[in-house]
Amino acid sequence: MRILIVDDEKTIRETLKEILEDEGHEVFTEGIGSRVLPKVRELSPDIIILDLFLPGTSGMEVLEKLNSEGLTERISVIIVSGHGTVETAVKAMKLNAFDFLEKPIKYDRLTSTIEEAVKKKQGKQVKNCDYSNLPLRQAKEAFEKDYILSLLKKFNGDLKKCAAFMEIDISNLYRKLNKYGIKTDGLD
């Protein structure tokens, strides 16, 4: 996989580059936001690891441009930030970011996120369930349960982030978890 690391901190860029090259990826780096889109057009990366706070054009602005040009459909953008908020994470996910990781980045979390992005890119991601053999009410419930489980995975069990992303209050999320028998022990 071709990976572009975008971070204003040189040591982070170099460390991530070394780790990912050891994993067998072809890795490129950039430290300035305004240079990202030209570099994306030149390199055609499969994955972008994008810091939110960059000199010039911010990471969020870069993500907005990538999304508006339809590039997030073929490029998995992994947002990283040491100062992210729930609102920022939700905004990034709505702009088709593949995932949102908090700094300091944990090696295992980064590699597993990249593996998921690679599987998605290679078309090995689990196919959506076929709800067409269910009555409408049961199909809606099956979909909602799958949706909640996927968000819990995406946000590492953080119920506040899940509820914010779903645009519901946390008490409503708890009701849905109970309805579908999803255990909340150790999730929040």
Predicted confidence (pLDDT) per residue in 41-57, tens digit: 999 999 999 999 998 89
- pLDDT attached to residue 75: 93
* CA distances from residue 153 to 99, 109, 116, 161 in whole angstroms, order as listed: 10, 12, 12, 11
With a cut of 50, say whether residue 176 has pLDDT above it.
yes
Cα–Cα distance, 78 to 48 (Å, whole number): 6
- pLDDT attached to residue 25: 92
Spatial contact of 151 and 166, defined as CB atoms under 8 Å apart: yes
With a cut of 70, say whether residue 87 has pLDDT above it.
yes
Enumerate domains of the chain plus CATH numbers. 2-121 (3.40.50.2300), 131-179 (1.10.10.60)
| pLDDT digits 0-9 by tens, 91-130 | 998 999 999 998 888 888 899 999 888 887 766 444 456 7
The whole model's pTM is what? 0.66
Spatial contact of 50 and 59, defined as CB atoms under 8 Å apart: yes
Residues in the chain: 188
| pLDDT digits 0-9 by tens, 9-23 | 999 999 999 999 998
Cα–Cα distance, 45 to 39 (Å, whole number): 9
- pLDDT attached to residue 185: 61
